[in-house]
Structure 1
């Protein structure tokens, strides 16, 4: 069955696993609950997952072809046990090469590599969403120029994978201003979130793509994203959503930020 595409928040570092005993900090529990409910919400269990994280950039779109990727603990200053987390899902080299072929056919320069570990934008939310680590998974990089329209087009090139049971996931944060960390900026974050959500859920798919590609024109856009790498996974998910309906799947306020998730299809 045709799978949706998703844009989800991946939290902050290993936020759901800060307690070695396994208790999620209360502030992060609503986000964890949202992630844990993703698989039951799907039309059937995905045959594979293609995920784009805000933590991997390459000069060209690059697919990970490894069969058993390790984890890349690309966060700092957290408890020692969070550097021993495991998520041992199998890689999906055949799916990776299919994705690359689709991008090549759409005119993109592409690459592949098989040694990089899955960054925390992959394994932290997937440890919650797919706790049994039993769905073959491939990671796709962002393109380092961060061109929003190009990322939307890349997503559109990958849309057909959804018809083969592949869940396409953009993993980032709809608000990501580390300079504001530790301060309550929810009034500003609310303004941006409302404007972003209106653009993402525009019922006209062509207008939706236009408005989201022009995200920097939204109110407080550069306050919400001084650098947009955590927003670009949304562009891929939106593009992969094609002309399917877009819904606002989740909203929360955490660490003084307003964050949202979206579903296409």
Structure 2
């Protein structure tokens, strides 16, 4: 596997509340994107602590040999534990009361990948032919309205409450996590990103950049520039993971 991580403050905000990380152990890789909630205090603290807690749990798992079911359990237990740590931290630090963050995390093996998420940070999957699809579903108010038939997808794009999320890490003692399990092969790619990217590029735009004849670093930089050129009102963070030849654990 090959991977790249990029983050940018954007053109409007003065500080970056996003955090991201790529952690590798042998033939497995963990990619994480966390977007601190701008409407809450200490969103940057929430996203940074999320990366810290998950990295610690990752480093403690270096001797584990996980099959797919065990990997799903490990990832989701790590996210649940992180949520509890964030909630505890916020309650113990007055300046951080109410802080929260989204999370999208991909645990990648040579044959399988597991994606878990809370909030509206997204994961897209590009197959070996270059066709792109979103594999996470936003935990947002407007998406709930679309699913219930009260709002069209077109109207959702411009809804004034588009960024109101209905699930977040750290705001409640318990959390519901959505998980997707997939297989992948050579030349497939994952794109994980905060909404600073997905709000500014259509699926077609994302697909076109990922299919360019360029390095992962160049593709990531092009996506950042695209979002900034489209306004850059929010922080922009993304990770691209590309499958290369190898055997599963």
Same fold (TM > 0.5): no
More helix per residue:
1
Structure 1 length as normaliser, TM-score? 0.25
